Structure 1
């Protein structure tokens, strides 16, 4: 569920199906990006035209997924699946300005009215949430720490073993930087350095601002992490 800050306090924002179709019309949305999570933790998506998206599809889902092509979902003999959008996840994607696009995160169901896909990661999380309530807990607080690297350039060759395999990572923050510019960090000395050694503060600011303002994902902290060569961390508020 997305949030917004009112008076210094996070307040949940909930959209109904009616709200979504009203926003599609008001904001002149051209495309809807239907997103779902794979077992390896990455989003997959398919995009539909907003003017063909109907309330019935919002309610019943769209038969738009071949589950055999997603690792761990289904075999090819029984792979027709349905994506059911969650209206509360509606968000306009800010970097797709040429053709205004909004996203909806979807639950994954088997086709032919066979129920929820057991290996849908979102479904597993929802089952865990329900189980906690059966154990007498009203709330469960989670604060993910998103860690990632930002490189200036990376190249690799892993498909031509007859001439050798290799990779190369370039970063102005790394001690192996050949340009002789900047303030490189030693290996494992990247925890909380200040600028100018930390070159990615403004980049992380932009990431946090985008998550907060467009997707309702509130981030309360970000910093450089231990590794050299652009390791970052963004902390999402529980």
Structure 2
């Protein structure tokens, strides 16, 4: 992306993304000759569900109906059992989806002039749908607002580029770059390794600018063809929307170049996993960073936020690491965290405090994997810190040196994580019992699907040895 293009990005955000009212949105669509609108809602996995309709039909009736089952679907396309707590609405009745006009943006990869808009889910009596990920994040942000606080977050999303893979029995491999060769070694922070895919990243920048999405930095991560995109800090809902749209953007740009982009937590054996680090701070009603006192030193709220993150991160692991594959990333032999220790500028801990001045003091949660739903991961991470501040918790002493040799604090597998999640009464009060039961039921259903598959490891070591 040229410097000229990047310098105009902030203006592009104001001009190319969002509308205040339905009438503003109608004019926005007319000005751009938009013919179709993708009306989307993020489901529990962060997958875009919804409908595509002609622009004229959309503005004749901006709300739409969809069955409640969209929030009970597993990643494999099944559903949690109806007879299980949280298993879903037996009648599968309609929900009302209302557009958030501030999310209106073009779909730059579409062949015809198309726009997209994210919707919120409501019951027919006007109540927010408790199991909607976007509504859950709003609920957590409202808890902060009731205290006169506003959380600020900045996500970092890691992903791999891989060769197209149409047979799931075959391992994933790095793609061929412009040199004609795949990466064979780790190229952390390598500029030349990023340049291998210059044309792809030009498209990512162009697609992002067209949608009013702002990339802070792009780097090559540790793994072969593993990349990381960092977003600028902002309001949690706005940043969750951006991650949701960025994932879609990156996948579409990669497909244009006959490459897959994957956000699996551990897509390639013997390569590092992919994370979604979340930087968090809180500002008060005057806009001052609550994590710093008047002398610029760490405040009591800062330490309580850390204490809450330490206490409650293990209880939200099934949100931060939502699939069986997610736990392959969290091992002692990798660079990912395995516990809830914290430290100043320490990347081996699950909770890192980056170096900064008082106004930018923040807490980085390094536990979530990139396969997590951004709305749910951000909501869960903020909920941990909120509970810490409400309960006045105190963190442990910071860790100097590596935390990888210390004990595991985090669940080692999905079922253990789900059980821990269900048994935390404090989380029920924040998330609501309906969401907790529904999410747990979906995860158990996904685990049962996984258990039907026989892995290569089992064939390799059990076939003739047991």
Check whether the contact 2:43–2:70 (CA below 8 A) recurs between aligned residues: no
The match for 2:120 among 103, 107, 113 is 107
Equivalent residues in 2 for 1:40-59, closer than 5 Å = 40-54=45-59, 57-58=61-62
1:66-85 aligned within 5 A: 66-71=67-72, 74-85=88-99
Q: Is the 8 A contact 2:108 2:211 kept in 1?
A: no
For the 8 Å contact 1:155–1:168, the answer to whether it is kept is no
Kept in 2: contact 1:155–1:169 (CA 8 A): no
Post-superposition shift, 1:89? 0.8
Residue aligning to 2:227: 232
Q: How many residues align?
A: 210
Secondary structure of the residue aligned to 1:155 is: coil
> Deviation digits for residues 108-155 of structure 1, max 9, x if unmatched?
112x32521101111111122221122222x32211112211112223
Matches within 5 A, 1:1-238: 5-6=10-11, 15=19, 16-54=21-59, 57-58=61-62, 61-63=63-65, 65-71=66-72, 74-97=88-111, 99-110=112-123, 112-137=124-149, 139-157=150-168, 166-172=169-175, 181-182=180-181, 184-186=183-185, 189-196=186-193, 199-211=196-208, 213-228=209-224, 230-238=225-233
Alpha-carbon displacement from aligned partner over 1:38-70 (angstroms, at most 9, x marks no partner):
111222231111111236x33xx212x122244
Q: C-alpha separation between the residues in 1 aligned to 2:180 and 2:136?
A: 48
Deviates more, 1:10-19 or 1:80-89: 10-19
Say which structure is richer in helix.
Answer: 2
TM-score, length basis structure 2: 0.41
* Unaligned stretches of 5+ residues in structure 2: 1-7, 74-86, 234-466
Secondary structure in structure 1 of the residue aligned to 2:28? helix
Q: Given that residues 68 and 76 in structure 1 are in contact (C-alpha distance below 8 angstroms), is that contact kept between their aligned partners in structure 2?
A: no
Q: Is the 8 A contact 1:222 1:234 kept in 2?
A: yes
Q: Distance in 2 between matches of 1:130 and 1:170?
A: 44
Cα separation, partners in 2 of 1:36 and 1:113, compared to 1, 3 Å: same
The answer to whether the 8 A contact 1:34-1:105 is kept is yes
| Larger strand fraction of residues | 1
- TM-score in terms of structure 1 length: 0.76
Contact persistence 2:71–2:131 (CA under 8 A): no
Deviation at 1:198, TM superposition (A): 5.4
**Do the aligned residues in 1 keep the contact of 2:18 with 2:105 (CA within 8 Å)?**
no
Unaligned runs of 5+ in 1: 158-165, 175-179
Going from structure 1 to structure 2, the CA distance change for 1:127 and 1:69 (only over 3 Å counts) comes to closer
